[in-house]
Structure 1
Amino acid sequence: MNLPSLGDIKRLRKKVGMTQSELADRAGVSQPLIARIESLDIDPRFSTFKKIYETLQEAEKERINAGDVMHSPVITVKCYQELKDAIEVMRDSDFSQIPVIDKHGVPIGSVCESTIINELDSTTPERIRDKKVEDVMGSCFPTVTPVTDLEVVLGMLEYTPAILVTEKGKLVGVITKHDIMKVAEEK
């Protein structure tokens, strides 16, 4: 078993989002002992250190990341497609928003129902048929990596209808509030 150094305990604890008290409770030790270990004031027994480290490993396994809740494959439209095609894709898939990608599959924008409705208000229905997605698309949904912590995703979803999950610049998944509700339902 490869154990970290004493100096790594604080970093690992923060990575899993635990307080010293939570770690102490779960490991069956006192909070002052955790504080002393983290400040390198004490050299604990091997068995105690191992118990603390194993508790941190278990907490790491319990964490939920973006990759755990995203759905894939992502239904998208390309920026050069006609807007009527995007409307059809959204209607057929029952989505109120959809990411827009470029010819390389990189997310560059979004189309939402409200964007289309605003466009209908400002143009005649005949002219909307001539529009391309890139003519009306809004800004791109925010992106995260598959290992982004769920807490970060939840905070972001307060301000946007969807979050894209990318890996090496390529779109691999999407997370909406609906996906979060499914996770909450399963717990």
Structure 2
Amino acid sequence: MQLPLPDELKQKRIDLGLTQNDLAKRAGVSQPLIARIESGDVDPRLSTLKKIIDVFNEIEKEDICLKDIMNCELISVSPEESIDRAVHIMEEYNISQIPVIRNGISVGSIAEDMIVRSMADKKTSVVSHMKIADIMGDSFPALSPNTDVKTASYMLEKHPAVLVLENGQVTGVVTKYDVLKLLSD
């Protein structure tokens, strides 16, 4: 692993739209130290360099949009399909909810809890042959691909997924799991 050169640190700071003062405050060091590091007058301690790089990484994560983390391979069902088909898809992909899409437009959602609830009232054989339209719930909320992850996170507190819409068509989906994966990146 190669340590960044002073001019690389300066360019990264500029690319992220930070002033030396902004970087210094966020890294917990002085602005003159940042200036001296960028000019090559001083070699920073590894701990100082780590603080600077951590600030860069933190800012890059703030700029993540839904298009950066969405699943483009949209797994969906149509309202005319059977509940049995939805259950098969949930098992195959190990998911607990699916958007219901007709002609590229979200018309509802189906989730495990909806299916289980319907089984309390009807025989299993009856439920498996019912149409998804008979028990589906509301559509997942939809956002544009350029929406920041923070906004989506607020929506994911109340909904299991957020659809990504472009030109009125569903182009992807973001789940709580997709946002949680950012912590390990």
TM band (smaller chain): 0.5 to 0.7
Taking a change above 3 Å as real, the CA distance of residues 84 and 146 of structure 1, as seen in their structure-2 partners, is: same
Q: How does 1:71-90 map to 2 (within 5 A)?
A: 71-90=71-90
| Counterpart AA for 1:64 | I
Match of 1:178 in 2: 177
Q: Structure 2: which 5+ residue stretches go unaligned? A: 1-15, 25-58
The reply on whether 1:26 has 2:26 as its aligned counterpart is no
Deviation at 1:107, TM superposition (A): 0.8
Q: How many aligned residue pairs are there?
A: 137
Aligned to 2:163, the other structure's residue is in SS state strand
Structure 1, residues 107-154: CA drift from partner, whole Å, max 9, x if none? 110000000000111111121133101001000000001001111011
Match of 1:68 in 2: 68
Structure 1, residues 90-121: CA drift from partner, whole Å, max 9, x if none? 1111100000011x121110000000000111
8 Å contact 2:79–2:133 — kept in the other structure? yes
8 Å contact 2:149–2:179 — kept in the other structure? no
Aligned to 1:86, the other structure's residue is in SS state helix
CA distance in 1, matches of 2:119, 2:61: 48
Aligned to 1:160, the other structure's residue is in SS state coil
Q: How does 1:1-187 map to 2 (within 5 A)?
A: 25-26=21-22, 63-102=63-102, 104-186=103-185
Taking a change above 3 Å as real, the CA distance of residues 70 and 127 of structure 1, as seen in their structure-2 partners, is: same
TM norm structure 1: 0.67
Percent of aligned positions with the same letter in both sequences? 33
TM norm structure 2: 0.67
How big is the alpha-carbon RMSD for the aligned residues of Structure 1 and Structure 2? Answer: 2.5
Moved over 4 A (4+): 59-62
